[in-house]
Amino acid sequence: MSVIKSGMVAPLVFELALCLAIAVLIARARKGQKLPTIRKVAGLDALDEAIGRATEMGATVHYSPGIGDIANPQTLASFAIMGYVAKTCAKYDTRLIQTNRNNVVYSVAEEVIKQAYADAGKSDAFNADDVRFLSEDQFGYASACVGIMHREKVRANILIGAFWAESLIFAEVGAQIGSIQIAGTANTHQIPFFIAACDYALLGEEIYAASAYLTREPVLVGCLIAQDWGKMVGVALVIVGAVMATMKNNSLKDLLLK
Partner 1 sequence: MVTTNWWLWLAAFFTVSIYTVAFADNNLFRFVESIFVGTSAGYMVTANWFNYIKPQLLNVQKGQYVLLIPFLIGLLVYTRYVRSIAWVSRISLAFTLGYGSGFILSKNFRPDFLTQVIATFRTLDTFNNWLLVFGVITSLTYFLFTVEQKGVVGYASKAGRWVMMIALGAAFGSTVMARVSLFLGRVQFLLTEWMFLVK
Q: Is 241 an interacting residue with respect to partner 1 (CB under 8 A)?
A: yes
Q: Is 37 an interacting residue with respect to partner 1 (CB under 8 A)?
A: yes
Q: Is 27 an interacting residue with respect to partner 1 (CB under 8 A)?
A: no
Sheet holding 95-100, edge to edge: 131-133, 95-100, 60-66, 154-162, 180-185, 200-203
Q: Is 117 an interacting residue with respect to partner 1 (CB under 8 A)?
A: no
Whole-number Cα distances in Å, 83 to 71, 110, 131, 200, 211: 18, 10, 13, 19, 9
Q: Is 34 an interacting residue with respect to partner 1 (CB under 8 A)?
A: no
Contact pattern from residue 129 through residue 168 relative to partner 1, giving x for each residue in contact according to CB under 8 A and a dash for the rest: -----xxxx-xxx-xx-xx--xx-------------x--x
Burial class (CB in 10 A: 0-12, 13-18, 19+), 108: middle
Selected binder of partner 1 within 3, 31, 36, 124 (CB under 8 A)? 36
Q: Is 42 an interacting residue with respect to partner 1 (CB under 8 A)?
A: no
Stretch 44-83 residues interacting with partner 1 (CB under 8 A): 69-73, 76
Stretch 196-235 residues interacting with partner 1 (CB under 8 A): 196, 203-206, 209, 212-213, 221, 224-225, 227-228, 230-232, 234-235
Q: Is 39 an interacting residue with respect to partner 1 (CB under 8 A)?
A: yes
Residue (1 or 71) nearer to partner 1, CB: 71
E strand or H helix at 182: strand 180-185
Strand partners, 63: 98, 158
Rounded to a whole number, what is the largest CA-CA distance in the chain?
67
Angular region, 207: left φ>0, alpha ψ -120 to 50, beta rest:
alpha
Q: How far is the CB of 29 from partner 1 (least distance, A)?
A: 12
Stretch 164-193 residues interacting with partner 1 (CB under 8 A): 165, 168, 173, 188-193
Whole-number Cα distances in Å, 153 to 37, 91, 93, 146: 37, 20, 15, 12
